[in-house]
Amino acid sequence: MEFRDLKEQYRRLKPEIDAGIQAVIESSAFILGKPVKELEDKMAAYVGRKHCVGCANGTDALQLALMIWGIGPGDAVFTSDFTYFASAGTTSILGGTPVLVDIDLRTFNMDPDDLEEQIQRVIAEGKLTPKVIIPVDLFGQPADYDRILPIAEKYGLKVLEDGAQGFGGNIRGKLACSFGDMSTTSFFPAKPLGCYGDGGAIFTDDDEVDARLRSLRAQGKSPVDKYDNREIGMNSRLDTLQAAILLPKFKAFVEHEIDDVNQVAAWYTERLQDHFITPFVPEGFLSSWAQYTLLLDNKEERDALQAKLKVNGIPSMIYYPRGLHEQQAYAAMQLPDEWYPNTMEATKRVLSLPMHPYLTEEEVDLICKVLLEA
């Protein structure tokens, strides 16, 4: 069994994907060829943003967005403690300071109460200037924008939605990657919408930001003269071959994969909810199920279940084994575990099960049987 079955998806989409790859090779337009703009336009229309700008990966997408706002030394960027490294790492590489926020243990997303406490702490200390909040749509579920956006407004902060895992989710029909001032996503193969290598995108409603992002992803070049570099940028374009692969995958994603993966989640929850803490999806929220993550009673139970699954040939993952405040790269910040009680719980108790739109009910049955027998 696969944790995320990309082979089955390819088997079904092979004619379109192969034709797309072939057309790019025959056109020889490898850099910013037609499929890139076509994908950008379709994705912007889908999420309900005015612009989508492709780039090399989801990490660069975050960095480019932070560069638009000139984030650098002395700036505080608030992000979740329980996530992939990128939202904090991109802040640091620009010279800014990530301020890590504890999570809500029910959703694994940024806790708005702790966010406000951390903002007030930074203001009271007076060393950093609060600038940006990067909420992460973890495991496919949008963060609590109903509460985070008003906090951002109260303190005059920008919001950058990290939708790398959230693409396809929504809150009362408003889609992930449309919240806040800018949003980003990743096309890393295992994400809800993945390509066959690296890729990413940034979303904005602002025409000037769109134009600057297109310049910043190409060394800060002028739109009319590519050897006129107006500001310091990156070399971070979405590869044309990857865009061609994404076009049929995006079509399948919208047409049925998002429904199918929600059906798989319902099968899991039906079978497991009386015995385990299954994922909590608040009223009005839809997850795109980047992960289906159980919260077990303690580390011993979690580790025993993972071992039991393994001997039965069922892969499972621990996302994430440590909080960002525990990363060696941030040891110098000396952030105390006591600030992150929910992250500390989650790292010991989470277990993510195989999850993708092509999982069958029989496979879910088998996985749940092993878990319930354990």
Ligand X SMILES: *Cc1c(COP(=O)(O)O)cnc(C)c1O
Binding site residues, ligand X, CB under 6 A: 57-59, 83-84, 86-87, 136, 162, 164-165, 186, 188, 198, 200
State in angstroms the smallest separation of the CB of 186 from ligand X. 3
Q: Which residues contact 131 (CB under 8 A, 6 or more apart)?
A: 69, 71, 75, 76, 77, 96, 157, 158
Q: Which is nearer to ligand X, 68 or 272 (CB)?
A: 68
CB of 164 to ligand X, least distance (A): 3
Comparing CA positions, the residue from 140, 169, 246 lying closest to residue 200 is 246
Q: Which residue has the tokens 């429904």?
A: 259
Sequence letter at residue 147: R
Min CB(87)–ligand X separation in Å: 6
The DSSP output letter for 221 is B
Q: Which residues are registered as beta bridge partners of 353? A: 292
Q: Closer CB to ligand X, residue 58 or residue 357?
A: 58
Long-range pairs for 249-257: beta carbons < 8 A, 24 or more residues apart: 249/9, 249/13, 249/17, 249/193, 249/194, 249/195, 250/39, 250/42, 250/43, 250/46, 250/193, 251/16, 252/9, 252/12, 252/13, 253/168, 253/192, 253/193, 254/46, 256/357, 257/168, 257/357
Closer to ligand X by CB, 242 or 262: give it: 242
The two three-digit tokens of residue 103, written as one number: 């999570």
150 three-state secondary structure: helix
CB of 15 to ligand X, least distance (A): 27
Considering the complex, state which of residue 60 and residue 116 has its C-beta at the smaller distance from ligand X: 60
Minimum CB separation from ligand X for residue 95, in Å? Answer: 19
- According to DSSP, the residues that pair with 158 across neighbouring strands are 132
Residue 129 backbone phi and psi in degrees, to 5: -100, 120
Cβ 162 to ligand X shortest distance, Å: 5
Tell me which residue has its CB nearest to ligand X: 58
Q: Which is nearer to ligand X, 87 or 242 (CB)?
A: 87
Q: In angstroms, what is the minimal distance from the CB of 80 to ligand X?
A: 9
Pick the closer one to ligand X by CB: 87 or 293: 87
Nearest in space to 69 (alpha carbons), one of 130, 128, 115, 119: 130
Q: Which is nearer to ligand X, 236 or 262 (CB)?
A: 236
